[in-house]
Structure 1
Amino acid sequence: MVALAMPKLDALYQLVGSSGCGVLLTDAEGVVLDLRVAAGDLATFEAWGLTPGADWSEASEGTNGIGTCISEARRVIIHREDHFHARNTAMSCMDAPIFGAEGELIGALDVSSARADQTAGFNRLIAAMVAQTARQIEAETFRAAFPEARILVADAEERDAATLLAVNGDDIVIGATRAARKALGLAASGPVRPMPASDLIGRSEGPAGFDKAERAAINRALARAGGNVSEAARELGIGRATMYRRMKRLGIGENLS
């Protein structure tokens, strides 16, 4: 996760670093793994204890951006006096959780501000950028976990959610992100029970079962052959006449030759 997150952290810091904000990445326990902050703000962050190796879990620091985000597994904004410890009330923190390839919580992304004049409106703007970056890291982590699979994007109510499915060469779903699991009614975490992608995200009308699988195979072969039936039949290992009979039965392209 850390290696995959580096470019995303750099990009986020370029957007918020000049406004007195630092960008932090933590593990699932709230321990800071990485910090990006301007040289002029470093002393302030060190005084707060916002440095690599520091423990910002709720057990350690009470209510705070990192710890509360991890504890509740959701995006949070903890603004100044919302912090539990008085020593932390000078900061504003915007956080989003990062979920792993099996839907498990693997870390949190935090932007903390050293500005005394930070407004609630500016906090919300930064929080949106934090959430978007966290989803990008999540997507990169998911793709890395399934390097040989096709990655499909599932529909979801949350526009910025990483709703991704990993599908193998047999069109079997072998992985799903946390948001995809929620959208499709799957278990929130753990290995995905292998299932046909068409059963999970396909439409119910039309051919079913073996007919659906055969139709998909024929259409893929025809697409690869540029519509040439003879070439597609050779790819499938069947005769041209057999190919035409199956196409007719399944109602596939009557104008192909």
Structure 2
Amino acid sequence: APQSDVPTAAAALRKRLERASGGLRARGLAFSARTDRGVHAEQNFATCYFVEEVFQNETVLETLLQEVALHREDGLRDVEACRVPWNVHARAIGTGKHYRYRLAGGHPPKLIEMVAEVGRRKPGMPHEIDPHLLDIWQVHPPLDPELMQLAAYHLVGTHDFSSFRGGPIDNRPPVRTVTDIFVTDFGDEIVVDVFGQGFLRKMVRIIVGTLAEVGVGLRQADSLPQVLAHRNRQAAGITAPARGLTLMTVETEKDWFERIPED
């Protein structure tokens, strides 16, 4: 959904498309993976179309693609653009996603509050916090990554993830397949890598929040099967803050950046 108070990839891309097309409107702009406010993305795919006949001209279209891919100071990096068949849609081409979450325990409450305060400010406002800290979820108690990994094993596989679905609830089925979860201790931070075919709204953040509760001793690692069985959001843990989450990759069956002639 549009988020007028923060910069978004959708807004930046739409502006690029408008500029490259001479002010024409791109229709049906969609992304392979939707991200919440404050979530980063290293890779994503988007599709859109133009109804104007001028883009039937190959030279005009190629110029548009080149303009869209030009580097600009809008927060988008390493943009590639190509033409695809009319029936290719961003939401349908993904076969898997990899999310990474960074968190760290043992931080003083004062620092945690300072980081949270920066997050509540409008983008661009000055602050004295190390930028590195703004992409990590800091918690006060120490975290036990081994217990977190033991708990994570119970979430791998195909399950009803209703307990890990954030609101508002939509009509999408709650059954999802998580192929792997790895919890890695890097000393100054813990990284949780989650791989799956598709995810519910805020599902990865709720998974991490629940694993963090295990890591600080608020719940047992072997309680996760019961959490799944409840199929109730209240059974799972807190929703981890958006700032620690990054969409790393979107897997596709083929390389869409081969220049494909339209049928």
| TM-score for the superposition, normalised by structure 2 | 0.25
The structure number with the bigger radius of gyration is 1
Query: Greater share of helix residues, 1 or 2?
Result: 1
Comparing both chains, which one has the higher relative contact order based on Cα–Cα distances under 8 Å and sequence gaps of 6 or more?
2
